[in-house]
Chain A
Amino acid sequence: MPNRPTYPVIRGTCRRRLWSGYWGTHAQTSEPTPKQPYAAAVAGVLDIDSLSRRFGTVTALDKLSLCVPSGQVVGFLGPNGAGKTTTMRAIFGLTDLDAGSVRWNGVPVGPDQRRRFGYMPEERGLYPNMLVAEQIEYLGRLHGMNNAAAAAGTMRWLERLEVADRATSKVEALSHGNQQRVQLAAALVHDPEVLVLDEPLAGLDPTGIDVIGEVLVEQAHSGRCVLFSSHQLDLVEDLCESVSIIDHGRLVASGSVDELTATGARRLTVRVDGDREGAWARAIRGVTVSEVHGGEVRLVLDDSTNGDAVLDAARASGRVTEFLFERRRLSEVFREAVSR
């Protein structure tokens, strides 16, 4: 059996609550406490500075700058074609840059630095005919490990990612989810200081998401610098302490998840018996019904609207069974940021 982490295990729909507990207090109150990143054992900053890249007439990166500190999981978000993959490839020198630089702890990233980085590309890259363990060992060796260390690291990560029983299988014989775990093991085998993962959770079942999510958080808390992209914003919100959102090759929002979700108009979730469509709220001035789902009505309040007035209106319509101030969801932050 692989060694289990000492922190709480995330499972399915409970994840949000468990993470909240892990980070401190949370959410079902009107004043959530921000997540406090763990002290990093390996301090460092990946500094992406003014990257520019054009492909013909298309501007993929437009003076993009962002910092990825170690010790926390940083989500890298943006719509399709925003420049996420190009940025990640630029970190590894896989695309030429028209301008800008990438630095690790102030040192321009070159081959020696990249040897201590781990990378999981968007389009998975493994030799289909090669045995799983041999393949990971080989990649570990390319990262500078000796034979024994590469073999030990391979088995450790295969066990941690729960695919040790497929060590002697060919990669092509594995399911998509297991291939994804093997790909992550390949990125982790040399215990990198920086972990850059392009869509690591895409197409995974909930169990796979849990396992990989745990590993990402573990890595961040052991002091690694973890940057990953995803379109699954709920998962990003659960896993990440901070996010950077880019659009058209430019940074459009950045900061901790708590900071970003705490800003903007106030959100209220209200449930009133006998009015599942939220008709009672549509007549209130300064209130917009943003979402109705299963009798739960989600409202956006403008600055002049008093919460008490909303509560009074709800009570006048029926028995109020839920009345909860909430932060913005990350998906709302995202939509707002990329629609500017």
Chain B
Amino acid sequence: MKVNLRDRRLFGDTGLVAGREIRERFRGRLFRGVTVILFVVVAAAVVIPTIHSGSARSQRVGVVPASASLDSELHELAKRVGVSVEFVDVSDLAKGRAALDAGQLDLVVDGARKILVKSPLSASNTSDVARYVRAVSVALGAQRAFAQAGLTPEQAATVANAKPLPVESIQPVNKTPTTAEATALIGVIMIFIVLTQYLTWTLMGVMEEKASRVVEVLLATVRPTQLLAGKVIGIGAVALTQAVGLVAFALVLAAAVGSNLVHGAAPFVVASTLVWLVLGYAFYSWVYAAAGSLAERQDQVQSLALPLSAPLIFGYIVSLIGVSSGSASLLVKILAYLPPTAPFAMPTLVGFGEATWWQFMLSATLSLVCTVGVALVAARVYRTAVLRTGSRVRLRELIPTLTQ
């Protein structure tokens, strides 16, 4: 059997190495377990808010006796409390009680006498129905008191519509996050989880190849850069596949359950998240792979992983705080242009709508240029260190090689 050296494969040896990584990772229990957990978490993140917002359905309010002025007043109260209401005319209180008991109504208002609810309202109950019932109770009670006090309807209306004095906070308003910001928050968390997982795999994968000495067999026929690139690309492809799968699942699920995830600027934030996941992995993977080549034991890897992950964690925490606070700080805006922190900070800016297309492109270009530089240095470190066995290779031992 002759080896046909002209039988070049797609992407050559790098493609073969990447293919092995992809096959082995997909096959691994760890990958399958983590993927299932991530899908469950994403499903919960999409579905649970819609279940919560589902409780804000219209409250069916039976009104006895039917009166346009009472309807108007009850409607005004509903607006003030922030509850959607639907009025049903009920001829008498007994029929209202029966409809309430049958679940056809949420409450019955007898404008002259009382309000009926199905179960007692505790003081701690802050549901929409409870808040609305309290508001109606207070308002109708006050109205009756005004009438007993002999106020004219105009006077009573003036008192009832009294506006409270404005209250001004010296701190900025804590506004409700927009859908895009909420998506950015989820995106930043996803980038952190996926990067942490797959960068650790890269680190451990290189270390294990060195520890098992299989690297010596591989490098007898494959160039170090091909082996390194194949590993990085293979694990990166698995990471991207998982991330795309999660995002696609989230979007489909969001459309199915009517989540806000697919509305407004959120799809752009999703796309930005995927782009920065790829850029972030591309930047860090070389660093982690080179670090893996310095070690051949678990304890050696742990001492390497901490300093490597410091900029990653820093970028993540600063961006997370930025998203949670509702505004992008100056620090986030600066970090968005530094390759180690941009994978978190730039999607945050996109979520706030504070990044223009050219700012996005500038940051991405900076990241790509730095990635090329990092990859070149990492390849030299890898080539020199991966065949050195025994104690952990110190970076200062590699300086002569790196400066050649």
List residues of chain B with CB within 8 A of the CB of A130: 24
Q: Which of A93, A115, A119 sits near B217, CB closer than 8 Å?
A: A119
User: Once the chains bind, are A115 and B5 in contact (CB under 8 Å)?
Assistant: yes
A126 vs B218: C-alpha distance when bound (angstroms): 9
List residues of chain A with CB within 8 A of the CB of B214: 125-127
A123 vs B390: C-alpha distance when bound (angstroms): 13
Asked whether any CB of chain A lies closer than 8 Å to the CB of B162, the reply is no
The digit string for A176-220, where 1 denotes a CB below 8 A from any CB of B, is 000000000010001100000000000000000000000000000
Residue of B nearest to A123 (CB): B213
Asked whether any CB of chain B lies closer than 8 Å to the CB of A309, the reply is no
What class of interface size applies to chain B in its complex with A?
Answer: 20 to 34
Q: Which of A101-142 contact B (CB under 8 A)?
A: 111-112, 114-117, 119, 121, 123-130, 138-139, 141-142
Asked whether any CB of chain A lies closer than 8 Å to the CB of B154, the reply is no
A28 vs B2: C-alpha distance when bound (angstroms): 42
List residues of chain A with CB within 8 A of the CB of B218: 125, 139, 142
Residue of A nearest to B2 (CB): A191
A interface SS class: loop
User: Once the chains bind, are B219 and A144 in contact (CB under 8 Å)?
Assistant: no
Q: Which of A124, A139, A149 sits near B213, CB closer than 8 Å?
A: A124
Asked whether any CB of chain B lies closer than 8 Å to the CB of A249, the reply is no
Measured CB to CB, the closest approach of chain A to B387, in angstroms, equals: 6
Asked whether any CB of chain B lies closer than 8 Å to the CB of A92, the reply is yes
Asked whether any CB of chain B lies closer than 8 Å to the CB of A311, the reply is no
Asked whether any CB of chain B lies closer than 8 Å to the CB of A250, the reply is no
A89 vs B389: C-alpha distance when bound (angstroms): 14
Query: Interface segment, B136-144, B220-228, B316-324, B326-334?
Result: B220-228
A95 vs B386: C-alpha distance when bound (angstroms): 11
Known contacts A125-B214, A130-B24; A190/B3 CB under 8 A: yes
User: Once the chains bind, are B221 and A114 in contact (CB under 8 Å)?
Assistant: yes
A83 vs B9: C-alpha distance when bound (angstroms): 37
Known contacts A128-B212, A130-B24, A142-B13; A121/B3 CB under 8 A: no
Measured CB to CB, the closest approach of chain B to A257, in angstroms, equals: 28
User: Once the chains bind, are A152 and B220 in contact (CB under 8 Å)?
Assistant: no
User: Once the chains bind, are A153 and B1 in contact (CB under 8 Å)?
Assistant: yes
A21 vs B92: C-alpha distance when bound (angstroms): 119
A-B contact pairs, 18 of them (CB 8 A): A93-B219, A94-B220, A95-B387, A115-B3, A115-B5, A119-B217, A121-B213, A124-B213, A125-B213, A125-B216, A127-B24, A138-B20, A139-B218, A142-B17, A144-B5, A145-B1, A191-B2, A191-B3
Known A-B contacts: A121-B217, A145-B3, A186-B217. Give 20 more (CB < 8 A): A89-B216, A93-B220, A94-B219, A94-B387, A112-B5, A116-B3, A117-B220, A124-B213, A125-B215, A125-B216, A125-B217, A126-B212, A127-B209, A127-B212, A128-B212, A129-B24, A142-B222, A145-B7, A146-B7, A152-B1
Interface residues of A (CB under 8 A from B): 89, 92-95, 111-112, 114-117, 119, 121, 123-130, 138-139, 141-146, 149, 152-153, 186, 190-191
